[in-house]
Amino acid sequence: MKGAVLWLAIVAAGVATFAIKLVGHLLPRHWLAKPPVARVAALVTVALLSALVAVQAATSNGRVVLDARVAGLAAAAVALVVRAPFVVVVLVAAVVTALLRWAGLP
Amino acid sequence: MRQALSVAVATGLYGVSFGALSVVAGLDVWQTMALSLVMFSGGSQFAFIGVAGSGGSPGAAIATAALVGVRNALYGPQVAPLVEARGAHRLLAAQLTIDESTAVGTAQRDPTAARVGFWWTGAGVFLLWNVFTLLGALLGGAAGDPRRYGLDAAAAAAFLGLVWPRLADRAAQVVAGAAVVVALATTPVLPSGVPVLLAAGLAVLVGVLWRPDGAGVPRAVAARVSSERRSP
């Protein structure tokens, strides 16, 4: 994706996410406040974010690749366990991965 | 209001990582700012640049961002009675309806405190999120080769940080594990971006079939906000 196509996708995705927020404000309360709806929505978020973790950490160009990123991610998990703030978690992953690459790992 | 401001600062700060990672994923500064201003929902924004950056189609990027944002629709019925907004105000309230503002607003006992909590958190996060996105985008543009600085791993860690507070109950943990397996197993055979959507389909299936302890959105969000409040 580049240029005009990328812009178009950004605008379309922005409009879609705003429309989703607005729907919640406009629909009658009892339509969305059902436990099964809430459960499915929560699980969809979990599934998408978890799949994105995996794709971002362990794939390159359509292949599964295990490299320094996985170690960086493990370090981030440790940071989360000790309740580090979000920015620190992200930084820890970057620093550990960068150091391992500097030491010669792919 | 103090709670609103501390949540706004903590959340706004990680706009730096979004801005930097967005530029690294191939968006320019304007496109990055458009996402933070118009989309304004951290999970959806990270999802969009994650799919776009790994060569996914426009359709896959839009669908993933929208699906990650679906939970915001469920916040509306909780927020609308608190703010009782009409007309343009209602549009503004909808745009500011995110994890943090909903959690702070619904956590207040008194109606006035709930209204104040929602608006201050929403507006505070909006302002700081965009300021720090710009800062991050400018920093990310100066970084050079993203792999050298481990920024590809940072993107993975960002998703991990977003999903972490939502893994409190069993169903969520099972779905997370299955999503990882499905995404990795199908990556070699499906176009980029599709494995992630497939994982969402799986979650719908599990959510419909599995009727257990009630994996509630508010609980996950409450956990997230309280964990952010604990951080310095």
Render pLDDT for A59-93 as a digit per residue (tens, 0 to 9).
998 999 999 999 999 999 999 999 999 889 999 99
Give the nearest chain B residue to A22 (CA atoms): B94
Q: Is residue A58 part of a domain?
A: no
B-interface mutation test, from A44, A59, A96, most B Cβ less than 10 A away:
A44
> Biggest alpha carbon distance in chain A?
58
Q: Is residue A29 part of a domain?
A: yes
pTM reported for the whole predicted model: 0.85
Per-residue pLDDT averaged across A31-60, rounded?
90
Q: Is residue B89 part of a domain?
A: yes
> Residue B181: what pLDDT?
98
> Which residues of chain A lie closer than 8 angstroms to B95, CB-CB?
18, 21
Q: Is residue B57 part of a domain?
A: yes
CB contact under 8 A, A44 and B204: yes
Ramachandran assignment for B72, one of left (phi > 0), alpha (psi -120 to 50 degrees), beta (any other): alpha
Q: Is residue B90 part of a domain?
A: yes
Q: Are B133 and B18 in contact (CB under 8 A)?
A: yes
Of B66, B161, B175, the CB nearest to A43: B175
Q: Is residue B113 part of a domain?
A: yes
Total domains, chain A: 1
Q: Is residue B210 part of a domain?
A: no
Total domains, chain B: 1
Tokens representing residue B74 in the block: 């469920």
For B213, the 3-state DSSP assignment is coil
> Residue B144: what pLDDT?
75
> Residue B225: what pLDDT?
55
Domain around B136: 2-151
Give the nearest chain A residue to B182 (CA atoms): A51
Angle at CA of residue B65, ends B60 and B66, nearest 5°: 100
Q: Is residue A3 part of a domain?
A: yes
> Residue B123: what pLDDT?
97
> Which residues of chain B lie closer than 8 angstroms to A31, CB-CB?
77
Q: Is residue A25 part of a domain?
A: yes
> Which residues of chain B lie closer than 8 angstroms to A99, CB-CB?
150
Quick check: ipTM above 0.85? yes
Place of tokens 């507070």: B165
Of B27, B94, B153, the CB nearest to A93: B153
> Residue B217: what pLDDT?
44
Domain around A18: 1-33
Rounded to a whole number, what is the distance in Å from the CA of B138 to chain A's nearest CA?
17
Q: Are B86 and B188 in contact (CB under 8 A)?
A: no
> Residue A2: what pLDDT?
83
Give the nearest chain A residue to B15 (CA atoms): A87
CB contact under 8 A, B66 and A17: yes
CB contact under 8 A, B50 and A52: yes
Query: pLDDT by residue for chain B (232 residues), tens digit each?
Result: 778 888 899 888 889 999 999 999 999 999 999 999 999 999 999 999 999 999 999 999 999 999 999 999 989 998 999 998 899 999 999 999 999 999 999 888 899 999 999 999 999 999 999 999 999 999 988 877 888 899 999 999 999 999 999 999 999 999 999 999 999 999 999 999 999 999 999 999 999 888 665 444 445 455 555 554 444 4
Per-residue pLDDT averaged across A45-61, rounded?
95
DSSP string, B169-208: SHHHHHHHHHHHHHHHHHTTTS-TTHHHHHHHHHHHHHHH
> Residue A43: what pLDDT?
93
> Which residues of chain A lie closer than 8 angstroms to B40, CB-CB?
17
> Residue B229: what pLDDT?
45
Of A40, A63, A93, the CB nearest to B204: A40
> Which residues of chain B lie closer than 8 angstroms to A103, CB-CB?
none
> Which residues of chain A lie closer than 8 angstroms to B152, CB-CB?
56, 69, 97
C-alpha distances (whole Å) from B156 to each of A5, A65, B23, B200 are 25, 14, 15, 18
Q: Is residue A26 part of a domain?
A: yes
Of A20, A27, A40, the CB nearest to B208: A40
Q: Determine the Cα–Cα distance for residues A53 and A48; give it in Å rounded to an integer.
A: 9
Among the residues of chain B, which ranges form H helices? 2-13, 15-24, 29-34, 42-53, 58-68, 70-83, 88-95, 99-106, 111-141, 151-163, 170-186, 194-209, 217-230
The fraction of chain A above a pLDDT of 90, given in percent, is 77
Give the nearest chain A residue to B197 (CA atoms): A48
Q: Determine the Cα–Cα distance for residues B184 and B198; give it in Å rounded to an integer.
A: 11
